[in-house]
Amino acid sequence: MKNKLDGVEEILLMGPGPSCIHDSVYEALGLKTLGHMDPYFIDIMDEIKKLLQTVMKTHNRMTIPISGTGSAGMETCFVNLIERDDPVLILINGVFGQRMQDVATRLGADVDSLEFEWGTPVIPEKVEDMLEKKNYKIVAVVHAETSTGVRNPVEEIGDLLRGKETLYLVDTVTSLGGIEVAMDAWGIDVLYSGTQKCLSCPPGLAPVSVSDRALDVILGRKTKVPNWYLDVSMLTKYWGGETRVYHHTAPINMNYALYQSLFLSVEEGLENVFRRHLECHNMLVRGLDDLGINMLVSPDFRLPMLNSIHIPEGVDDAEVRSKLRSNHKIEIGAGLGPLAGKIWRIGLMGHTARKENVTRVLTALKEVLNK
């Protein structure tokens, strides 16, 4: 029998995630599996919670990795908070805002949405207008819109919600560990992320944090959460408290890998990590400019870790990506939705954000584009 895994080769992951993985994270992944109720694994769980609190800048006790990918994090936040007909406002300027709208609508919420042009940020003044007209239970926004490379003004939107009962829900899938996320200072109540972006851990877990205020709302629900797997009230009993209560079997080895990737970020120092992302981004933008390639997003709202660039005129989108993959062993991302065929997305996430990688992708692009 031929083993398909024999053909797995190393690709430089410069798409919208997964990102490149540090050797020590691969090693962590391959450590011996412990039981999900093993006392030593429970110690590791406690350390993961603390490291997540550090990276998210929060004191929330309910700060854990959900046993699914980033979208399971999104599902967790909405399904635990929403009861039928709850008024929810979703701010949309890309695929992941749209996904929030879909998730919340399926759960029976009364969803209003405010849409902004893809490639531009959410405008806080427009949000303020909406908030004056209606009381929302939840206002939700994506911090780093992976589909466009836009950073939304999460802190400013948080300021608009101060003193209100409204819960503030933020997607930090692509931002966490690459730019500042200050959950408590920015007044965020519920936050989710993914492991395969700036944390540079393989995909499979979704860090989630819930403020005490939001947890009270969850524990005070009139109806049971219509999702057993993601029910926060049960997850807290497995991940916290004196006596751990079995809920589901946590993905042990993925949790090792997450621990190690968080450990690396905290050891390097978050400020240093953010600076490394920014420096690589600046170097990439300069190099692209030399090739005559322009950025989609205006400088003020560009994400360092996700660079959307205009595909040069007359160039075959798929052919270039395919050549980068086959001849240069580099993956970059295609555009999504209305931006399909119009942009490429170059990721500089986590361990990928190294100057040698920027040089490599610029050299490869130059060759493939015959510049």
Least Å distance between CB 253 and a copy of itself? Answer: 4
Least Å distance between CB 81 and a copy of itself? Answer: 14
CB atoms within 10 A of CB 285: 19
Classified as helix, coil or strand, 44 is helix
Q: Which CB atom, from 21 or from 144, has the smaller least distance to a copy of itself?
A: 21
H helical segments located in the chain: 23-29, 39-56, 70-81, 95-106, 124-133, 154-161, 212-219, 232-239, 252-268, 270-290, 317-328, 355-368
CA distance 270 to 181: 10
Least Å distance between CB 106 and a copy of itself? Answer: 5
Q: Are 97 and 228 spatial neighbours (Cβ–Cβ below 8 Å)?
A: no
Q: Are 36 and 194 spatial neighbours (Cβ–Cβ below 8 Å)?
A: no
Q: Are 342 and 302 spatial neighbours (Cβ–Cβ below 8 Å)?
A: no
Q: Which CB atom, from 20 or from 139, has the smaller least distance to a copy of itself?
A: 20
Least Å distance between CB 154 and a copy of itself? Answer: 22
Q: Which CB atom, from 203 or from 312, has the smaller least distance to a copy of itself?
A: 203
Q: Which CB atom, from 241 or from 269, has the smaller least distance to a copy of itself?
A: 269
Q: Name residues whose C-beta falls within 8 Å of residue 244's C-beta, 6 or more positions apart in sequence.
A: 37, 42, 237, 238
Least Å distance between CB 183 and a copy of itself? Answer: 22
Q: Which CB atom, from 186 or from 307, has the smaller least distance to a copy of itself?
A: 307
Q: Which CB atom, from 17 or from 97, has the smaller least distance to a copy of itself?
A: 17
By the 10 Å C-beta count (0-12 exposed, 13-18 middle, 19+ buried), 247 is classed as middle
Least Å distance between CB 159 and a copy of itself? Answer: 30
